[in-house]
Amino acid sequence: MKASQINIKNKKAYFNYEIGETYTAGMVLTGTEIKSIRDGRVNLSDSYCVVDRGEVWVKGMNISEYFYGSYNNHQIKRDRKLLLSRKEISKIEKQASDAGFTIVPLRVFISEKGYAKLVIGIGKGKKQYDKRQAIKEREDKRNIDRFFKK
């Protein structure tokens, strides 16, 4: 896969949360981690972010082991530091401190310069009836598209 084609999304995040403001952050990675990301072997489904002592960390992000990594391979689910400015970190911390809000990883991609970037968003959890409404709207849209396709 070419680096510009790497675009791994967290589809569950958009279903479970109403996403407000988003931020793009760099990640502190080891050599085999970036190689696995370039192979597209990342899973964001159970990951979340926390602010700890003025630093933002992503927890639970699964980057599979690099096939050719031998004994130098990385830990699959280690905590990874995100690179953001102090101004952005304080803004994120303030927004996430409100009740019901959380910091959710949305997308991993490779930038033009070849760096791995993570898009995070401030999300408020949806209620069960909101999720059912989203499913109903999606199915209605599919039915309309099928009707006009024929």
| pLDDT tens digits for range 11-68 | 888 888 888 889 999 999 988 888 888 888 899 988 999 999 989 999 999 888 888 8
| pLDDT tens digits for range 78-103 | 899 999 999 999 999 998 888 888 99
CA 96 and chain centroid, separation: 16
pTM of the model: 0.82
Instruction: Single out the residue of 89, 41, 35, 31 nearest to residue 64, CA to CA.
Output: 41
Which residues are registered as beta bridge partners of 52?
Answer: 55
- Taken in order of first residue, the domains within the chain and their CATH numbers are 3-125 (2.40.280.10)
Burial of 126 (0-12, 13-18, 19+ CB in 10 A): middle
Summarize the confidence of residues 102-129 as an average pLDDT.
90
